[in-house]
Amino acid sequence: MSLTRRALLGAAPAAAALVACGRHDDAANAAPAVAPVRPLKDTAPFRIGTCLMTAELDDPQFTGLVQRNFSQVTPEWEMKMERILAADGSLALDAADRIAGFCRDSRLAMHGTTLVWYAQDPPTFEALKHDRAGFEDHLRDYIRQVVGRYRGLARGWDVVNEAVAEDGNGYRGGVWAEGLGDDFARVPFEMAREADPDAVLFLNDYNLESMPAKLDAFQRLAERLLKAGAPLTGLGTQSHLGFDTPPGQAGAAVKALARFGLPIHVSELDITTHKPGLSLGSPSDPARLQAQARVAAEIAAAFADLPAAQRYAFTIWGVRDKDSWLRGSAQGAPDDAPLLFDAAGAPKPALAAVEAAFARR
C-alpha cells in the first residue's frame, strides 16, 4: 500500500492538540493493558525505536510502554523545521528540549529529524532563495544550532528527507533546490557533519518497498552524493506499509540498500489495516491483524539479516494504535490499527511476529 505524504502537511499541529485532549474514543472502553512477557528492546542486539510527541509524555501508560519496550526515540514532528524555525528567524526548541530531556532521563538514545525536507519552506529561507551566500549562511547557522544542541544525545539525523519524486523521475528540492541548486542534497550533509562529527547522517525516503522506480532513483541519489564526497553515512527507509503488502515486498528496500554497506534505518514502520474501498470487516479483524503480522515479520527478518554494523535501528512509528498519525489522515481511518500495541497498550500478533523474527536470527 502506497501512502501520499504531501496531503498530510499541516496536520501534525492539529494531531498534537488531539493527543492532548484525548482524541481517541476507543481509549475509554479499552481493556486494561497487558504487557508483553519480554520487553521488545530485549529481543534484538540493535536499537528498537519509536516516535512521540510531547503531549504523550503526560500519559503514564504511554511513557511506561516506551521505557519498557524501546531503546531509541525519534521526535515525531516537534524537531522538524516548521515547528522550530519561527517567521522572525528565532528558534522555538521547547518541545524538542522536552523530548531530549525525556530521553536523557529514561536513558534512551535519540534520532534527530528532519533538517531539510522539500515539503517545508520557511519564510526566512524563501526570502533568501535568490541569494546563494545568504541562503547557505542561514542554513549553516540553523543546522549548527539545532544539531549542535543535541550533540552527544542524537545518534543520527535525517539530513535530507523525501528528496525523490514519487514516480522516481527526478527530485523534489523545493525551496532548497531554489536556494542551493543541484547542491541542495549535498550541502546539508556537509553542514551537519561540521555540527556533529560523530552522528550518522541519513538520506531518508518512503514508498521504497512498493515503487521500484523510486527505489532505483533513491539509490542513484545516494551514489551521486557519495561520489561527490558528501558525508552520507546512513540510509533510511520509512516503511509505511499495508497489511496487504505482497509477500517479498516488505523487505525489498532493506535488502537493496544493503549493497552500500552503510547503516540502515527502518525509520517509520507502521502497517495500516485500513484499505479504502474494502467494505468487508474492520481494521481490527483477526484476519487483517494476522496479515499485518506476516508483513511485520518479513521486514523484521530482512533487517535482522543485515550485518551487525549496518543495523542502525528498527523504528516503529508510534506505540499504541491510538497514537498513530494514520488515524487522523486520509490514508488511514479512525479505527486503523497499524502498530504493535492496541489502543489499550496490549501486545498484538505483529509484536509477537517481530520478536520471533528477531529471535530466529
Instruction: Check 78, 268, 298, 355 and give the catalytic one.
Output: 268
Using only the alpha carbons of the chain, give its radius of gyration: 19
Residue 317, domain member (yes or no): yes
Q: Which of 283, 314, 310 is nearest to 298 (CA)?
A: 314
Q: Domain total for the chain?
A: 1
> Taking the model in full, what pTM does it have?
0.90
DSSP 239-296: -EEETTPPTTTTTHHHHHHGGG-S-EEEEEEEEE---TT--SS-TT-HHHHHHHHHHH
At 18, list the grid cell: 488531539
Instruction: Check 162, 190, 298, 355 and give the catalytic one.
Output: 162
Question: What are φ and ψ of residue 125, in 5° steps?
Answer: -80, -35
- CATH, residue 237: 3.20.20.80
- Kindly state the average pLDDT of the residues 148-171: 97
Lowest mean pLDDT among 3-17, 103-117, 174-188, 221-235: 3-17
Whether the per-residue pLDDT at 332 is higher than 90: the answer is: no
> What's the confidence (pLDDT) of residue 22?
36
- Cβ-based burial of 202 (10 A; exposed 0-12, middle 13-18, buried ≥19): buried
DSSP secondary-structure letter at 23? -
Per-residue pLDDT reduced to its tens digit, 47-90: 999 999 999 999 999 999 999 999 999 999 999 999 999 999 99
Say whether 308 sits in a helix, a strand or coil. Answer: helix
Whether the per-residue pLDDT at 12 is higher than 50: the answer is: no
Higher pLDDT, 11 or 184: 184
174 sits in which H/E element: helix 174-180
The phi-psi region of residue 98 (left if phi > 0; otherwise alpha if psi is between -120 and 50; otherwise beta) is alpha
DSSP secondary-structure letter at 30? P
Q: Percentage of the chain with pLDDT > 70?
A: 89
Residue 1, domain member (yes or no): no
Q: Which of 219, 224, 225 is nearest to 237 (CA)?
A: 219
> What's the confidence (pLDDT) of residue 245?
97
- Alpha-carbon span 110 to 50, nearest angstrom: 10
Per-residue pLDDT reduced to its tens digit, 273-301: 998 777 667 888 999 999 999 999 999 99
Is 162 known to be catalytic? Answer: yes
Residue 225, domain member (yes or no): yes
Whether the per-residue pLDDT at 14 is higher than 90: the answer is: no
Is 209 known to be catalytic? Answer: no
Which residues sit opposite 85 in a β-bridge? 91
What's the start-to-end Cα distance of the chain, in Å?
A: 27
Per-residue pLDDT reduced to its tens digit, 299-325: 999 999 999 999 999 999 999 999 999
Domain span including residue 295: 6-359
Say whether 310 sits in a helix, a strand or coil. Answer: helix
- Alpha-carbon span 302 to 296, nearest angstrom: 10
Residue 315, domain member (yes or no): yes
At 196, list the grid cell: 556533529
> What's the confidence (pLDDT) of residue 329?
86
- Alpha-carbon span 121 to 99, nearest angstrom: 24
> What's the confidence (pLDDT) of residue 37?
67
> What's the confidence (pLDDT) of residue 188?
98
Q: Are 3 and 240 in contact (CB under 8 A)?
A: yes
Whether the per-residue pLDDT at 237 is higher than 70: the answer is: yes
